[in-house]
Amino acid sequence: MASPAAPVVSLPREIRVFISSTFRDMQEEREELVKQIFPQLRRLCESRGVTWGEVDLRWGVSDEANAEGKVLPLCLAEIEHCRPYFIVLLGERYGWAPEPRQLKARGDSQRQQSEKRSTTDVEMLHGVLKDRRSK
Tell me the average pLDDT of the chain.
77
Where residue 125 falls among pLDDT bands split at 50, 70, 90? confident
Is the pTM above the cut of 0.85? no
> Does 1 fall in a domain?
no
Assign 113 a pLDDT band (cuts: 50, 70, 90).
low
The pLDDT tens digits for 85-106 are 999 998 887 776 666 655 555 4
| Residue 85 maps to a domain | yes
pLDDT of residue 54: 94
Q: How far apart are CA 78 and CA 9, in angstroms?
A: 27
**17-28 pLDDT tens trace:** 999 988 778 889
- Sequence-distant (6+) residues with CB within 8 A of 83 are 127, 131, 133
Q: What range defines the domain where residue 31 resides?
A: 14-134
Asked if residue 55 belongs to a domain, the reply is: yes
pLDDT of residue 73: 82
In a domain, 2, yes or no: no
CA dihedral sign of residues 61, 33, 124, 97:
negative
How many domains does the chain divide into?
A: 1
Higher-pLDDT residue of 2 and 91 is: 91
